Chain A
Amino acid sequence: MSNGILVFVEQRNGQVRKSSLEALSEARRQAPMGKELVIAVIAGENIKSLAARVSKVKPDRILVADNAGFGKYSTEAYAAVLSAAIKKENPRYVFAANTAMGKDLLARTAAKFDAPCASDVLELRPDNGNLLAVRALYSGKCRGVFEFTSPLAFMTLRPNVFALSEAENGQQSPIEDLSVTADKVRAAVAETHAAEGQKVELSEASVIVAGGRGIKGPENWPVLQNLCDVLGAALGASRAVVDSGWIDHGHQVGQTGKTVSPQLYIACGISGAIQHLAGMSSSKVIVAINKDAEAPIFKHATYGIVGDVLEVVPRLTEELRKLNSN
């Protein structure tokens, strides 16, 4: 691999996104220190202090575009930053986390450079000095291995799949100012509103508790939320309950919702329609709780309990709370 990997590190409100550091960690694994270059690029306003956190993943250098014009996200302004970094470093690959911002930015910038882009990459395979990208298709019902025949290629890496490797201490990576003026900005973020009710983001959560028809009604979400709170989990939902208006679409897991790969997925009262299974079957451990012993979800579960969600979940919450307090 010549010229190494450039990684776009996403920050919002002065917080570096963990999934960006996962992408940076993977870049460092694919381009080992001393052999290949890994350069991080970050944009925002008053963000110089974030370089310390980014340094823990040991990029060779950090390019910082810090000015008032980058305080709020704009595809065109950030694409100007990323383009300037690419022209300066001439990398073989450009990585970012597969987030709303990562996809929006890398797709636009890839087209600017007439270069290909692979989104939601699950695995990278070294291949004669190049990288092959493995990505899910049909929401995970199958997978595709892709090769790039261009000198530059872009990829967004799925959160929670690539291990974060941060050094506890060590040297600060050298920082370079990236002086960019975005002259053509025709659309930009004016304001941001936090979504209601979701304390942990679904696609980045390491534990997900999801509810389906078996929770009997929207008045029972607190039963699942209590379990979420004990586990630090995000709350997910089946399409059936989203379509019934029990919960916002932002919680939907599966085809036409989010595809997730947490360490632990607890399916509560979800029967396991093919579209739902597609979105969560790459979870490491799946627990199914359903009163119908014949529900398809049990065929995919690591552990199953046949029983009423509204009886089992409160007991489970209590038992886990005891474990936490010990």
Chain B
Amino acid sequence: MKIAVCIKAVPDTETKIQLAADRQNIDFTGVRFITSPYDEFAIEEALKLKEKHGGETTAFCLGGPEATDVLRDALARGLDSAVHVCDASFVQLDPLSTAKVLAAAIADGGFDIVLCGHQGSGTDNSLVPSMLAELLDWPQANIVVKLEVEGGSFKAEREIEGAHEIVQGSLPAVISAQKGLNEPRYPSIKGVMAARRKEIAQKDAAALGLAGKVGSAQATMKIKEMTMPADRPQGRIIDGDVDTAVKALVQLLRSEAQVV
């Protein structure tokens, strides 16, 4: 079984976000990058599928120099090979362009399944897996918390509002992972050592046949401006014993805030 995993390097979720001077992006000064949290479940699922069915696993990461560390981490966890997709024209791509780049990198690889996190932390789009599936002309299942793969077909349990759906389909397919799919393992020391020696393949726009066709300049969704949310007005602490405070709170919720 040939398994592709799409991962992304994102600012640590602890990061206090500040805007860059041009307000077109955040200020990346001093920001520590991590593997997007949901992608860790995709990596783990790839390892489990390989353990069960055999085959090989490849990580793809679209991004700048920050991608190298998350690809090394994916290798250290046990993925077999890594591809860094990087080009000066691929900076701050919209979701559709991202999907086009990933599709170009993955299409001819003979993969049976592509695993992704269901949402990239930060940009929070949750769109790329479905777009990638369409561009590859494969079926899809998103927000998956349980996956079974057997003989050319899959059964995926996905989280929807107030329920779980069981999706059945054929391979090849794109599956996006939700927290709960598995318990991601930590890299072993041996894994870390082995990962250091592995080569990370590089692919740019020209290698993918996308030069001048897909990139920030051709994207049809563009950021005009980024803003910080308005500060919330200063709140108040309601003093007094439990009984007094609760009564005062209910009064405020009713007459001032008018929410109960």
**Is there contact, CB below 8 Å, between B167 and A189?**
yes
Interface residues of B in 133-166 (CB under 8 A from A): 133-135, 138-143, 145, 154-155, 158-166
Contact A104/B236 with A187-B168, A287-B253 known, Cβ cut-off 8 Å: no
Q: Specify the main secondary structure of chain A where it touches its partner.
A: mixed
- Which single member of A99, A107, A193 contacts B131 (CB below 8 Å)? A107
Contact A307/B245 with A146-B222, A190-B166, A285-B257 known, Cβ cut-off 8 Å: yes
- The answer to whether the Cβ of A143 comes within 8 Å of any Cβ in the partner chain is yes
4 closest A-B pairs by beta carbon, nearest first, are A187-B169, A187-B139, A107-B130, A116-B221
* Interface stretch (choices B53-61, B72-80, B197-205, B226-234): B226-234
- Identity of the chain A residue whose Cβ is nearest the Cβ of B36 in the assembled complex: A256
B155: chain A residues within 8 A (beta carbon): 190
Contact A307/B221 with A187-B169, A192-B163, A281-B232 known, Cβ cut-off 8 Å: no
Distance, CA A115 to CA B94, complexed state (A): 11
- The answer to whether the Cβ of A150 comes within 8 Å of any Cβ in the partner chain is yes
Chain A residues at the B interface, C-beta cutoff of 8 Å: 73, 75-76, 79, 99-101, 103-104, 106-112, 114-120, 132, 135-150, 153, 186-195, 198, 201, 203-204, 207, 231, 248-250, 252, 255-257, 259, 263-264, 274-275, 281-282, 284-287, 293, 298-307, 311-312, 315-316, 319-320, 323
CB-CB contacts of B12-39 with A at 8 A, as 1s and 0s? Answer: 0111110100000010000000000110
Distance, CA A281 to CA B19, complexed state (A): 19
- The answer to whether the Cβ of B210 comes within 8 Å of any Cβ in the partner chain is no
A117: chain B residues within 8 A (beta carbon): 95-96, 127, 131, 221
**Is there contact, CB below 8 Å, between A303 and B252?**
yes
Q: How many A-B residue pairs have CB under 8 A?
A: 264
Distance, CA A256 to CA B238, complexed state (A): 32
Contact A192/B165 with A117-B95, A256-B13, A264-B260 known, Cβ cut-off 8 Å: yes
B163 to chain A: closest CB distance in Å? 5
- Identity of the chain B residue whose Cβ is nearest the Cβ of A308 in the assembled complex: B242
- Identity of the chain B residue whose Cβ is nearest the Cβ of A316 in the assembled complex: B246
- Which single member of A112, A146, A192, A323 contacts B224 (CB below 8 Å)? A146
Distance, CA A226 to CA B164, complexed state (A): 25
B125: chain A residues within 8 A (beta carbon): 119
Contact A119/B126 with A101-B160, A103-B142, A315-B242 known, Cβ cut-off 8 Å: yes
User: In the complex, which range does the number of interface residues on chain B fall in?
Assistant: 35 or more
- Which single member of A99, A149, A256, A302 contacts B161 (CB below 8 Å)? A99
- The answer to whether the Cβ of B108 comes within 8 Å of any Cβ in the partner chain is no
**Is there contact, CB below 8 Å, between A275 and B236?**
no
Contact A298/B134 with A142-B26, A256-B37 known, Cβ cut-off 8 Å: no
Distance, CA A125 to CA B231, complexed state (A): 21
* Interface stretch (choices B62-70, B83-91, B116-124, B187-195): B116-124
Contact A145/B142 with A100-B159, A187-B170, A264-B253 known, Cβ cut-off 8 Å: no
- 22 A-B contacts (beta carbon < 8 Å): A104-B140, A106-B127, A108-B134, A112-B134, A120-B124, A141-B229, A142-B227, A142-B229, A145-B226, A147-B222, A150-B221, A189-B167, A194-B162, A195-B163, A198-B162, A274-B13, A285-B253, A298-B235, A299-B235, A302-B236, A304-B237, A304-B238
- The answer to whether the Cβ of B99 comes within 8 Å of any Cβ in the partner chain is yes
**Is there contact, CB below 8 Å, between A195 and B235?**
no
Distance, CA A324 to CA B142, complexed state (A): 41
- Which single member of A101, A111, A259 contacts B135 (CB below 8 Å)? A111
**Is there contact, CB below 8 Å, between B19 and A142?**
yes
- Identity of the chain A residue whose Cβ is nearest the Cβ of B125 in the assembled complex: A119
- The answer to whether the Cβ of B2 comes within 8 Å of any Cβ in the partner chain is no
A100: chain B residues within 8 A (beta carbon): 142-143, 158-161
B180: chain A residues within 8 A (beta carbon): 248-249
A132: chain B residues within 8 A (beta carbon): 224
**Is there contact, CB below 8 Å, between B235 and A302?**
yes
A319: chain B residues within 8 A (beta carbon): 246-247, 250
**Is there contact, CB below 8 Å, between A189 and B165?**
yes
Contact A116/B94 with A188-B168, A231-B260, A316-B250 known, Cβ cut-off 8 Å: yes
Contact A116/B96 with A100-B158, A187-B139, A193-B164 known, Cβ cut-off 8 Å: yes
- Identity of the chain B residue whose Cβ is nearest the Cβ of A152 in the assembled complex: B220
**Is there contact, CB below 8 Å, between B124 and A136?**
yes
A316 to chain B: closest CB distance in Å? 5
B170: chain A residues within 8 A (beta carbon): 186-187
Contact A149/B222 with A103-B142, A107-B130, A284-B259 known, Cβ cut-off 8 Å: yes
